[in-house]
Amino acid sequence: MQRGDGGWWRLEVAEAGHGTEYGFSVDGGEAMPDPRSGWQPVGVHGVSRVFDASRFGWSDGGWGGRDVRGAVFYELHVGTFTAEGTLEAAAGHLDYLVALGVQVVSLMPVAAFPGRHGWGYDGVDLYAVHEPYGGPEALQRFVDQCHGVGLAVCLDVVYNHLGPSGNYLDAFGPYFTGKHTTPWGPAVNLDDEGSVEVRRFICDNALRWFRDFHVDALRLDAVHALVDDSPQHLLAQLSVETAALSAELGRPLGLVAESDLNDPRMVEPVAEGGLGMTAQWSDDFHHALHTLLTGERAGYYEDFAQPGVFAKTLTQVFLHDGSYSTFRGKEWGRPVDPVRHRGSEFLAYTSNHDQVGNRALGDRPALTPGQLAIGAALVITSPYTPMLFMGEEWGASTPWRYFTDHEEPELAEAVRTGRRREFAAYGWDAGEIPDPQDPETWRSSVLDWAEVDRSPHRELLSWYRDLLALRARTDELRDDRLGSVDLTYDVDGSWLVVARGALRIVVNLSDATDVVPLDQAPQDRVIAYGDAEIVAEGARLAGHGVAIYAV
């Protein structure tokens, strides 16, 4: 290769078309994958293969895109969504998702990562698609099929760190900096010498998913770990460039951030000093709802156990909006302006891959079917953008655990002992913690689709479908103004009522039949989970029952 300007090296190979295998040797060392490799057919340590994205025959010319704000998200992990663990197999369930009422399929990371099985957050070839999932053309085909049935696709991308195995970026330039540190080690270089090219590497990656794979939105992992002291934050740069591409393509493109900052600046326009994200996840809402339903009080759930917390997160997004966070040991967050900000700019959920998989046993919430139905109702009728985690809609009994498939014995042991040490601090017996490297840990996390047709899963699935259908046809439930929702509740925590226009979502949180008072006499019962009837005082609901009434 010949040295060019700015540290770049170049070699023109006329015959190196689609399918050509190659690698880069730096200073006479072993051949390494191309940092921008679009195809890693034999894994993250093997040769790269030229992928010509323009060869695919798209059939989605009539797809106009979708503004993901207010759309129903469904988060799925390709490797455990089906027994086959491929994009092709996942596509076999698209009609099911449409019938459920889903509008956006949110794929967990597919960038090439080490081994066969993993969450995908230790990806190292960010431009490639994990070969066991089917490789890059399989992703194009999946997105095309989604668009064909009216589903948008959101792809999870990780720019805050790379995994430890197969990470060769350091050999090619200053992709990392010691100027900042993150929980995963040195930070990605966003503001040190050489950062212009690193930022280009990230932004080009994001734009490539939009342009070459027709993805509709990106979910940006843990953006609070993107440490950037530049005059323009990377997220703002990405927002501006995404908006320009959106105008060029003539369809909306979304950026959904996972942020721990509780700062509405995340979703404020760049022109107004914001970071320009389309939407962001709302963990405070999840924590408040989880505590309300389960009674858990440990760890970061401690602050969410007080009366009125759920009411605040339902109407003001964040609990910690400048208040003291016990878990963090400091004041945290900034308030959301109910006039300036819309509920659809925040995603609400009863669970997601983090809130299940990062538990010691990877267990889903230990709730009755009625409690699961309550959680679904409070998410789907909220002013927020609702998100489901795969299998929750039928109360899947399968856990979703942390699993890896590292080839290096030292790394495998470090992951295993690190996981056990982490939870030992919370009083868990190390022998109880599933071994991430044990294939059974992955295998036990695969969804059991046979449950869909069995009771009580069948009834819960029907409830989800009814809720989502009601949301789709009811303007009041899609009203994303934060001021459009009101909540009253029993101080003892036995019931609550959410008002959405002329609708009342009535919830009995106790396990015994109870009469829930209403502000207006109910006229009609719209839908219910569990026995429910109109009485003089309001509505009588069975224990862990939920019903929606028109008043």
Active site residues: 221, 258
Residue 452: strand, helix, or coil? helix
**Residues in binding site for substrate:** 219-224, 283-287, 353-358
> Do 70 and 478 contact (CB within 8 A), yes or no?
yes
Ramachandran assignment for 230, one of left (phi > 0), alpha (psi -120 to 50 degrees), beta (any other): beta
* Nearest-10 crossing angle of helices 195-212, 234-249: 30
> Do 521 and 539 contact (CB within 8 A), yes or no?
no
Closest CA to 157 of 139, 172, 144: 139
Cα distances (angstroms) measured from residue 357 to each of 98, 360, 445? 26, 8, 10
Q: HEC profile for 300-355? A: HHHHHHCCCHHHHHHHHCCCCCCEEECCCCEEECCCCCCCCCEHHHEEECCCCHHH
d(CA 167, CA 157): 16
Closest CA to 539 of 491, 512, 509, 504: 504
Residue 546 exposed, middle or buried by CB count within 10 Å (0-12, 13-18, 19+): buried
d(CA 244, CA 233): 17
> Do 405 and 118 contact (CB within 8 A), yes or no?
yes
- In the chain, count H helices and then E strands: 14, 26
Strands (E), 149-300: 152-157, 176-182, 185-188, 217-220, 254-257, 279-281
Tokens of 77: 């992990």
